[in-house]
Structure 1
Amino acid sequence: MRNEKGGTAFAERGSIRRAKFGTLLNSDPNIFPTPNNDVASAAIVADNYSSGRDSSASSGSPGGYYYDSTPRSSNAAASPYRMSPWNQSSPYTKSPWIQPSPLNPFDDRFSKNGLIRSLVREEGHIYSLAAAGDLLYTGSDSKNIRVWKNLKEFSGFKSNSGLVKAIVISGEKIFTGHQDGKIRIWKASMKNPEVHKRIGSLPTIKDFMKSSFNPKNYVEVRRHRNVLRIKHFDAVSCLSLNEDQGLLYSGSWDKTLKVWRISDSKCLESINAHDDAVNSVAAGFEGLVFTGSADGTVKVWRRELHGTHTKHALVQTLLKQENAVTALAVNQTSAVIYCGSSDGLVNFWEREKHLNHGGVLRGHKKAVLCLATAGNLVFSGSADKSICVWRRDGGIHTCLSVLTGHTGPVKCLGVEEDEESSKRNQRWIVYSGSLDKSVKVWRVSEQAPDLRQMQGM
């Protein structure tokens, strides 16, 4: 649907139903000007190519940008993943990557908004990033973690093996999750902040050796192959922190969720969470933890105390679908959980409605690979090389803008509050990492007009 003025982004409640998987794969070419065989998420395929995993994504969601509050049906059928080339041409503009989107309202009338800078260092595809104050950490498949200070290259350090799939920062510690199944811990030198040293890994050597002597600590992962329960044996795909409780959560392609105590790096719990790879984990509100998987489900885990021990129990499955769940993000203030998937859709659930399904955000034509929230905004990065900016007002989401410029899939997002931000004009600095080997830095205001308003200006 389009509005009377020809706008392509608006909020709609209750009338749009999600297209079936088969329909999406055979979309009208006039609506989706993409090649028929271009049905896979770039980052999913790039990841899975190196690990032997076979996955794919559908070609997208209905044209335009929609908010749809119609509840989704559940389908637990396995996803028919297939490999396909990930470097197909974009369905969007073919203009140079430094040119702003024609749909981006951050033009001269809003000169303080939009693209601030592009950070490029030709050393690998950007798979992960994390921001803390004036520092930005970026991880790539070159095994390097690059450090930027005030948007300028500052320093870097390198792991022995495994591309860097996840980065989180807790105080002075930097945790990185890798393709080789390891979680490494780093710290900047007090004498020279440019120098970062590895101070440990998860699990610790001490815990690894201690556990290895007890046969009960082993689990069978493949026929005739046993591994220690406290160690990931496949790629660590995601990390999330619960700072209040001093906990680190890690999800892996080995289908498990592990819980670590930050203070002493001890593995408190290993959970067989899903039937396929865990692609995303997000520590939530009220002791809840959310996990999303290639098996098409989003699960809710509650942290419970059992004597002196902590145990996470499965309390709810929010979603069951054919398409892989590829990204999760939690708005702690509003108590809303967002889920991106390989069909290009973003679903969300609201705590005030007892985690009932709140609606669907339709803005991408390919898989959603990353999500981030800040204030009343939600950011979704996609294999279609764009970033959609959504503003939440109550239960209604409006698409403010579409940030384009990357020439490869957008694989990771980070958000920090802008120093110029105020209560009257809430502003955010958004970092986007892409498989085009660049990181882009954007300034976004919550008070910016949405696309529909821009159409009438």
Structure 2
Amino acid sequence: MASLDPPDSPPNPTTNIPSLAIRTHDTHTHTNTTNNKFFRSISHKEPSFAETPPRLSTTSLGSPRLYLSQPSTPRLSFTSTKQDVVDLHTIYRCISSVLKKDGQILSIAASNDLVYTGSQSNIIRIWKLPEFTECGHLKSKACMVVSLQVSNDKVYAAYADCKIRVWHRTWEGAVKHVRVATIPKPGGYVRSYITGKDKMMKHEGPITSLAINVSDDILYSASIDRTVKVWRISDLKCIETIQAHQEPINSIVVADDGVLYTASDDATVRVWRRNFCSGDRPHSLTVTLPAKYSPVKTLALTADGGVLYGGCTDGYVHYWLKGWFSGQLQYGGALQGHTHAVMCLGSAANYVVSGSADSSCRVWVREQDGQHKCLAILQGHRGPIRCVAAFLGGTTNEEVDDGCSICTGSLDGVLKVWRVKCTSNTARGTLQNGCEYFELA
């Protein structure tokens, strides 16, 4: 079923917009620098803000200073008739920043009071909440952990070598992780001719995103080779290859009802529904959502599947609202404020977090009337923000379990944790006093 198109804007052909897709090899060039393998066309120019928070050094941690500021006001949403940013005084405090010798931070996943971070190195670091201390790591021979997913007792990590490593975790006394599999299995790089169709078991380009459908026992992997592969978790076999887009696929998410969403450099989001009676090709295209000439780099879905967010290279975060039927979506509007490409999105309850190549994060709240307000602009990174994870609750035992905590990873190699807490109940309606956020790590 067709959705409503976003409002008209001046033409900006997709072909003129640089791609942020992950690429580890280019047949037309021979550049060997690591930075050119990832996001080669991202501008690292520092954005110009009306007020830039002072950066605290580690020597000032003994007596942290408090600052009062007023976030700069982003441009208004297409569909909102009221002010999108509440002009509130904001209290923020810098405690510390975690910088490891791992290079760029490329992926983050949070589950069961644990946060997993992947980077250019071969190490996946594990952090314990609420104190946010490093409590272990996972190692492999391959480098560049480009995507992470955690589901129940399994950790899935996609690497730049087009393979997925799987760890099993147990909770007997202490958390333990045991490497159990590699996808595809060794020796599985063969072509099988099924009903006259050629199906390759391994992606032909680097993997960009992972998604898990636990109820259907399925792991999805998307790649710059323009395909999505469907893996059966029980035996780790590839059961389907979806020719999803004409351009590299940057992000995928799957809803609880099994609907799959794919975002691509072709400036569209496509919606796929699984039909169990379709034999070898059970996934069928339901609708294509246009993003107004701008490649879609990241997707996020609310927990109830009611709102789909797509971050684009033009700095907009478009969102679509779920209709009465599964896979039916209606265009809701766009959140605007970033000056560079939106590279990552996170969602927790009615909070939405967008990380951008402009080195800032914006925290949005979705109100009961469906409109969005920008609560805070988190500044502190000195490079594009590549990944973000948002979750409810605090990060210390003394904090009340409300508000939202945010982990951000940047191409500057720094991992940070932020705490966003509003003094009024934003979920019920009106912001009355202020909003405070702390830079914790």
TM range (shorter): 0.7 to 0.9
Taking the TM superposition and a 5 Å limit, the aligned residue runs for 1:53-452 are 84=41, 86-92=43-49, 96-98=54-56, 102-104=69-71, 118-150=97-129, 151-188=132-169, 196-205=177-186, 208=188, 212=190, 214-216=192-194, 229-306=200-277, 311-319=282-290, 321-333=292-304, 335-352=306-323, 354-393=328-367, 394-418=369-393, 426-445=402-421, 447=424
CA contact (8 A) 2:52 2:379 kept: no
Cα drift, residue 323 of structure 1: 2.0
Cα drift, residue 282 of structure 1: 0.6
Provide the rounded CA distance (Å) in 2 between the counterparts of 1:352 and 1:183: 34
CA contact (8 A) 1:115 1:443 kept: no
Cα drift, residue 162 of structure 1: 3.8
Q: For residue 31 of structure 1, what is the aligned residue in structure 2? A: none
Unaligned ranges ≥5, structure 1: 1-14, 26-38, 55-81, 221-227
Task: Go from structure 1 to structure 2 and tell me whether the alpha carbon gap of 1:16 and 1:404 turns closer, same or farther (over 3 Å shift).
Answer: farther
CA contact (8 A) 1:117 1:441 kept: no
* CA displacement 1:227-269 (0-9 Å, x = unmatched): x522112111001122232321111111101112222222221
Provide the rounded CA distance (Å) in 2 between the counterparts of 1:184 and 1:237: 14
* CA displacement 1:29-70 (0-9 Å, x = unmatched): xxxxxxxxxx868xx27x44x43399xxxxxxxxxxxxxxxx
AA paired with 1:407? R
AA paired with 1:439? L
* CA displacement 1:113-157 (0-9 Å, x = unmatched): 876753321321100011112211100012321111231122222
Task: Go from structure 1 to structure 2 and tell me whether the alpha carbon gap of 1:436 and 1:310 turns closer, same or farther (over 3 Å shift).
Answer: same
3-state DSSP of counterpart to 2:323: helix
AA paired with 1:130? A
Cα drift, residue 374 of structure 1: 1.2
3-state DSSP of counterpart to 1:214: strand
Task: Go from structure 1 to structure 2 and tell me whether the alpha carbon gap of 1:245 and 1:254 turns closer, same or farther (over 3 Å shift).
Answer: same
3-state DSSP of counterpart to 2:304: coil
Task: Go from structure 1 to structure 2 and tell me whether the alpha carbon gap of 1:283 and 1:406 turns closer, same or farther (over 3 Å shift).
Answer: same
Provide the rounded CA distance (Å) in 1 between the counterparts of 2:120 and 2:361: 22
Task: Go from structure 1 to structure 2 and tell me whether the alpha carbon gap of 1:299 and 1:419 turns closer, same or farther (over 3 Å shift).
Answer: same
Task: Go from structure 1 to structure 2 and tell me whether the alpha carbon gap of 1:425 and 1:276 turns closer, same or farther (over 3 Å shift).
Answer: same
Task: Go from structure 1 to structure 2 and tell me whether the alpha carbon gap of 1:321 and 1:138 turns closer, same or farther (over 3 Å shift).
Answer: same
Cα drift, residue 19 of structure 1: 4.6
CA contact (8 A) 2:240 2:280 kept: no
* CA displacement 1:325-365 (0-9 Å, x = unmatched): 10001113261111111111011111137411111111100
Task: Go from structure 1 to structure 2 and tell me whether the alpha carbon gap of 1:311 and 1:213 turns closer, same or farther (over 3 Å shift).
Answer: closer
Q: TM-score, normalised by structure 1?
A: 0.73
Task: Go from structure 1 to structure 2 and tell me whether the alpha carbon gap of 1:278 and 1:174 turns closer, same or farther (over 3 Å shift).
Answer: same
Higher helix share: 1
Identity level (%)? 33
Task: Go from structure 1 to structure 2 and tell me whether the alpha carbon gap of 1:136 and 1:454 turns closer, same or farther (over 3 Å shift).
Answer: closer
CA contact (8 A) 1:114 1:442 kept: no
Q: TM-score, normalised by structure 2?
A: 0.75
Task: Go from structure 1 to structure 2 and tell me whether the alpha carbon gap of 1:399 and 1:451 turns closer, same or farther (over 3 Å shift).
Answer: farther
Task: Go from structure 1 to structure 2 and tell me whether the alpha carbon gap of 1:312 and 1:360 turns closer, same or farther (over 3 Å shift).
Answer: same
AA paired with 2:405? I
Task: Go from structure 1 to structure 2 and tell me whether the alpha carbon gap of 1:451 and 1:419 turns closer, same or farther (over 3 Å shift).
Answer: closer
Task: Go from structure 1 to structure 2 and tell me whether the alpha carbon gap of 1:451 and 1:127 turns closer, same or farther (over 3 Å shift).
Answer: farther
Q: For residue 21 of structure 1, what is the aligned residue in structure 2? A: 12
User: Between Structure 1 and Structure 2, how many residues are aligned?
Assistant: 383
Task: Go from structure 1 to structure 2 and tell me whether the alpha carbon gap of 1:417 and 1:286 turns closer, same or farther (over 3 Å shift).
Answer: same
AA paired with 2:142? S
AA paired with 2:384? P
CA contact (8 A) 1:368 1:381 kept: yes
3-state DSSP of counterpart to 1:306: coil
Provide the rounded CA distance (Å) in 1 between the counterparts of 2:419 and 2:341: 24
